[in-house]
Amino acid sequence: MLALFYIFIGVAIGVSFWQITRILDLRGVVANDEDNAKQGKYAIYFMVFFYAIMIYCLIAMNVIMLPESASIEGEHDDRLFNITFWLIGIVQFIMQFLIFYFTFKYRGNKNRKAKFYADSHKLELIWTVTPAIVLVGLIGYGLWQWNNVMDLSDEDAILIEVYSQQFRWDARYAGNDNTLGLGNVNYIKGINTMGVDMKDVNSQDDKQVTELYLPKGKKIHFKFRSQDVLHSAYMPHFRAQMNCVPGMVTEFGFTPKYTTEEMRQQPEVIAKTKGINKIRSAKGEDLYEFDYLLLCNKICGASHYSMQMKITVVEPEVYDKWIAEQPTLAAVIK
Amino acid sequence: MSEHHHKETFVTKYIFSQDHKMISKQFLVTGMFMGIIAVMMSMLFRLQLAWPEKSFSIIEAFLGPHQTDGVMNPDIYLALVTIHGTIMVFFVLTAGLSGTFSNLLIPLQIGARDMASGFMNMISYWLFFLSSILMVISLFVEAGPASAGWTIYPPLSALPQAIPGSGTGMTLWLVSMSIFIASSLIGALNYIVTVLNLRTKGMKMTRLPLTMWAFFITAIIGVVSFPVLLSAALLLVFDRSFGTSFYLSDIFIAGEVLHYQGGSPVLFEHLFWFLGHPEVYIVLLPALGITSEIISTNSRKPIFGYRAMVMSIMAIAFLSTIVWGHHMFISGMNPFLGSVFTFTTLLIAIPSAVKAFNYITTLWKGNLQLNPAMLFSIGLVSTFVTGGLTGLVLGDSALDIAIHDTYFVVAHFHLVMGVSAIFGMYAGIYHWFPKMYGRMMNKTLGYWHFWVTIICAYGVFWPMHFIGLAGLPRRYYSNTAFPMFDDLADINVVITIFALVGGAAQIIFLANFFISIYRGEKASQNPWNSNTIEWTTPVEHIHGNWPGKIPEVHRWAYDYSKRVDPNDDDSDFLHGQDFVLQTTPLLEGEQPS
């Protein structure tokens, strides 16, 4: 691949110098009919090339894209995305065709006379009103879905605090009372790395962990805090993201739809995993297995690119057993 | 105007010039110099993204202390993307584009001897020059330049403990940008006053070429929004240097609790994006204005829907000031605000669609003269459509939460404002080069430059949408920490190859530009057979632009191919040729268009 790149560079520099020497004869500054004919043709060639890479990418890159939403709230995201994508895809194909086809079709020559056509209220009305109507639909669906994902009114949701710092994630489950104890950076000391106020009664049964376990089919209510700079908790498989802001608590929620095991059996995930493992085994690296991840998605410093936390979605019974095994803060922090 | 006879020394003519034509060239060359730096930076970080562990002697040569055995360090990677963004957005596409073409064209196209205040205009350039120098100096400080992203969100940008670039590098960034904003404001006020007051007789607002409308409205957006960035920057200076807490609160870093209490980074985000989003249109509208003019001239047709074009510029300008929150859907602000901003953001699609359709209709049944400037304008329409459409995905808050800050965003804004605006700038340079230097640029090199550039632009940014949809966050030094992104490595290599070839292709342009200044063919007075009045000035620059009286304007700028019988396309041209200068009086019985 590298050799190819050097060749490209070499060719580009060669061509430019060859052309620079040609400039010295100083001819050719305004396009003539011959240029118009040639450039018009190139516009068509370019259009073919452009459509080829557009279509190729749309088909070939399907396999690398994120699999179907793993949260119930994200289903509508996927649907809205598909509707929007089809719509803009169709518009894109038509508009690009018109742009480059007209460039070719109406390429200038001495015998052609341009049409004097300065205005048409009817046409302009059409292309003002049509986008407006389409947008009303998109905005309507989008806003409905936005209210849907931002709805955190479910009282029974499992409350989890996600805590960020350069360059790691921690999490705290609210315990049996499902209420998080207060937290502030002033309480950070020793093993109390999340700065939990241990005088608060609600803190006693909280449980601090380094990996998230979530039960399938239950609404999870996340609260986010940051200790130093902005971070962003990005959970792409769940179509979820929220910034972690020092000095304030932000919130987000979703309901996991598939366990990690179920997700691994999905055809899309199997295909993507296969592709990744082909690359990894060629390089002699360990094989990859699908896991949900929480990534940092707001520039936060040198190791931003590796800041992550594993998320495991399990059946509710497994989750109950797991959470019971975790020690409470009261037991850990004396 | 008798001053244009006074004696000029080398210093007053070439350095501290108050002539708008010279100042425009100064803006252009400084902008190009900054552009070269920013593009080279992108080449370096593209190398890192394609071959993360590979050693490159070029990286060793350029990055000195910030690399280990030819592999760049994570800190300098972040610094490179930060400075690349800052320079491209502000120094190249704001000062380089508006500064060059507003200065060159406003007096020439409205029929004025010079800007309203030549002195302020000169100050505007020299402040820009000073801020450029400071930005370049910041690259050489020991801990590296600013590296918190071009959006410089605190606390990262406020705390040197968080990232080394937030020390001296960030201080220089803030000083440089404050001076830059002063330069922009002085320039913009000058443009507004000039357009309002110095139009020649007969140049009604409704007869202004669309370039003028675009530059005029752009200047207004700048005056409205740039001061807010200045205050945001000043408050950040206060937080950094004087211990205030506008943006900072409850921070524990490097083993200690800092004293800051009660501030909020979200406040900074609001202030930043109150400029940041209009900035997109400060960059884009001049490019669209230039394109309107060039497409009409080279299609030998009036621009379709002049009034609609003016209205949509105004609508875009107005909407641009009330959509900033779409950069902050996931910032933690109230979800209701998210709904409002989704609504206003998607509305921008309507005037944008009107503009795109009007360009295409202008091409329809034209007699297209495919000069390099025309090709770049057509290229702009193409990239503007491609990039604009994906805005419908990102502007929708419900979809944004899934792809915010991924490469999908990077692809979107590079196409819609980066590539489009650069294409507009190139189109402007090819078109008005004869007006700037009295010589022509070579068309063969121009064609090469265009085709290689557009192929590479799409080669870089089209596949980039898909790695974004795979969930890859931007500003990652390397993707090796996530096996789930291993299958994106090949695509990154392809993107980098296109980027390197595209970057190298700009050498063709630079060669054409600088050789043509000295050796290009001498320009005729109106080489493109254009209607606007800058082409009635002599080829050689004179102080005051027109030797005698300033010409009077009698018609709009778009009487191309006007016929004897307006309803008969086969009838003869009314004026015997397919263009009619704005200075030509109406014939007896001729209806104004």
Q: Does A128 contact B350 at a Cβ distance shorter than 8 Å?
A: yes
DSSP states of B358-420: HHHHHHTT--B---HHHHHHHHHHHHHHHHHHHHHHHTSHHHHHHHTTBHHHHHHHIIIIIIH
Interchain CB contact of A34 with B (< 8 Å): no
Residue A311: Cβ-neighbour burial (10 angstroms; 0-12, 13-18, 19+): buried
Residue B469 in tokens: 């949809």
Length of chain A: 334
Question: CB–CB of B111/B78 below 8 Å?
Answer: no
Sequence-distant (≥ 6) Cβ neighbours of residue A92 within 8 angstroms: A54, B385, B386, B389
Interchain CB contact of A85 with B (< 8 Å): yes
Upper half-sphere CA count for residue B169 (Cβ side, 13 Å)? 28
In a domain, B586, yes or no: no
Residue B264 φ then ψ, to 5°: -145, 130
DSSP annotation of B585: P
In a domain, B570, yes or no: no
Q: What is the pLDDT of residues A137-153, one digit of tens each?
A: 999 999 999 998 999 99
Three-state SS annotation for chain A: CHHHHHHHHHHHHHHHHHHHHHHCCCCCCCCCHHHHHHHHHHHHHHHHHHHHHHHHHHHHHHHHCCCCCCECCHHHHHHHHHHHHHHHHHHHHHHHHHHHHHHHHCECCCCCCCCCCCCCHHHHHHHHHHHHHHHHHHHHHHHHHHHHHCCCCCCCCEEEEEEEECCEEEEEECCCCCCCCCECHHHCECCECCCECCCCHHHCCCEEECCEEEECCCCEEEEEEECCCCEEEEEHHHCEEEEECCCCCEEEEECECCCHHHHHCCHHHHHHHHHHHHHHHHCCCCCCCCCEEEEECCCCCCCHHHCEEEEEEECHHHHHHHHHHCCCHHHHCC
Instruction: Please tell me whether residue B102 adopts helix, strand or coil conformation.
Output: helix
* Low-confidence stretches of chain B (pLDDT beneath 70): 1-7
Question: CB–CB of A209/A44 below 8 Å?
Answer: no
Q: What is the pLDDT of residues B105-126, one digit of tens each?
A: 999 999 999 999 999 999 999 9
Q: Does A103 contact B368 at a Cβ distance shorter than 8 Å?
A: yes
- Tell me how far apart the alpha carbons of residues A332 and B202 are, in angstroms, rounded to a whole number: 84
DSSP annotation of B486: G
- Tell me how far apart the alpha carbons of residues B366 and B369 are, in angstroms, rounded to a whole number: 9
* Residue ranges of domains in chain A: 31-108, 121-148, 158-332
- Tell me how far apart the alpha carbons of residues A103 and B454 are, in angstroms, rounded to a whole number: 15
- Tell me the average pLDDT across A70-94: 95
Please give the torsion angle defined by the CA atoms of residues B105, B107, B108 and B114, in that order, rounded to the nearest 10 degrees. Answer: -120
Q: Is-cis flag, bond preceding A50, omega within 30?
A: no
Question: CB–CB of B95/B282 below 8 Å?
Answer: no
Instruction: Please tell me whether residue B31 adopts helix, strand or coil conformation.
Output: helix
In a domain, B455, yes or no: yes
In a domain, B185, yes or no: yes
Closest CA to A295 of A287, A282, A304, A286: A304
Upper half-sphere CA count for residue B372 (Cβ side, 13 Å)? 31
Interchain CB contact of A288 with B (< 8 Å): yes
Q: Distance from A324 to chain B by nearest Cα, in Å?
A: 31
- Tell me how far apart the alpha carbons of residues A57 and A64 are, in angstroms, rounded to a whole number: 11
Residue A198: Cβ-neighbour burial (10 angstroms; 0-12, 13-18, 19+): middle
DSSP annotation of B586: P
Interchain CB contact of A81 with B (< 8 Å): yes
B196, containing H or E segment: helix B168-197
Identity of the amino acid at A127: W
- Tell me how far apart the alpha carbons of residues B121 and B192 are, in angstroms, rounded to a whole number: 12
Report in angstroms the alpha-carbon separations of B490 from A61, B51, B153, B407.
12, 10, 32, 15
Q: Does B399 contact A306 at a Cβ distance shorter than 8 Å?
A: no
Residue A57 pLDDT > 60, yes or no? yes
Across A117-131, A259-273, B559-573, the highest mean pLDDT is recorded for A259-273
Q: At what angle do helices B489-519 and B443-469 cross, to 10 degrees?
A: 160
Residues of B in contact with A127 (CB under 8 A): 353-354, 357
Q: Is-cis flag, bond preceding B351, omega within 30?
A: no
Sequence-distant (≥ 6) Cβ neighbours of residue B303 within 8 angstroms: A118, B210, B292, B293, B295, B296, B309, B358, B362, B558
Q: Is the dihedral of CA A134, A136, A142, A148 positive or negative?
A: negative
CATH code of the domain in which B518 resides = 1.20.210.10
- Domain region containing B448: 3-536
ipTM score of the complex?
0.94
Q: Does A84 contact B396 at a Cβ distance shorter than 8 Å?
A: yes
Q: Which residue has the tokens 């990102």?
A: B394
pLDDT of residue B1: 41
Sequence-distant (≥ 6) Cβ neighbours of residue B351 within 8 angstroms: B311, B312, B313, B315, B316, B319
- Tell me how far apart the alpha carbons of residues A303 and A321 are, in angstroms, rounded to a whole number: 34
Question: CB–CB of A264/A289 below 8 Å?
Answer: yes
Length of chain B: 593
Instruction: Please tell me whether residue B481 adopts helix, strand or coil conformation.
Output: coil
Q: By mean pLDDT, which of A6-20, A92-106, B358-372 is the weakest?
A: A6-20
Q: Does A61 contact B463 at a Cβ distance shorter than 8 Å?
A: yes
**Nearest Cβ partner for B346 among A50, A115, A138:** A138
Instruction: Please tell me whether residue B132 adopts helix, strand or coil conformation.
Output: helix
B273, containing H or E segment: helix B265-299
Residue B511 in tokens: 């060669």
Residues of B in contact with A43 (CB under 8 A): 370, 378
- Tell me how far apart the alpha carbons of residues A310 and A293 are, in angstroms, rounded to a whole number: 5
Q: Does A23 contact B442 at a Cβ distance shorter than 8 Å?
A: yes
Residue B258: Cβ-neighbour burial (10 angstroms; 0-12, 13-18, 19+): buried
- Confidence grade of residue A26 (pLDDT, cut at 50, 70, 90): low
- Tell me the average pLDDT across A155-182: 94
B285, containing H or E segment: helix B265-299
Q: Distance from A106 to chain B by nearest Cα, in Å?
A: 6
B33, containing H or E segment: helix B20-50
pLDDT of residue B2: 42
The answer for A 116-155 residues in CB contact with B (under 8 A) is 116-120, 123-124, 127-128, 131-132, 135, 138-139, 142-143, 145-150
DSSP annotation of B11: I
Average model confidence (pLDDT) for chain A? 92
**Nearest Cβ partner for B300 among A13, A81, A114:** A114
Residue A86 pLDDT > 90, yes or no? yes
pLDDT of residue A181: 93
- Tell me how far apart the alpha carbons of residues B531 and A163 are, in angstroms, rounded to a whole number: 63
- For chains A and B, what is the number of CB pairs under 8 angstroms? 429
pLDDT of residue B410: 97
Domain count, chain B: 1
Residues of B in contact with A75 (CB under 8 A): none
The CATH homologous superfamily to which domain A158-332 belongs is Cupredoxins -  blue copper proteins (2.60.40.420)
pLDDT of residue A325: 94
Q: What is the pLDDT of residues B182-213, one digit of tens each?
A: 999 999 999 999 999 999 999 999 999 999 99
Residue B296 in tokens: 């009409």
pLDDT of residue B7: 65
Q: Is the dihedral of CA B84, B85, B90, B94 positive or negative?
A: positive
* Cross-strand partners of A207: A173
Q: Which residue has the tokens 């803006």?
A: B27
- Tell me how far apart the alpha carbons of residues B85 and B100 are, in angstroms, rounded to a whole number: 20
Closest CA to A39 of B369, B31, B232: B369
Residue A153 in tokens: 């009114």
In a domain, B99, yes or no: yes
DSSP annotation of B252: E
- Confidence grade of residue A94 (pLDDT, cut at 50, 70, 90): very high
Nearest-Cα residue of chain B relative to residue A275: B487
pLDDT of residue A260: 96
Residues of A in contact with B508 (CB under 8 A): 15-16, 19
Identity of the amino acid at B60: E
pLDDT of residue A24: 55
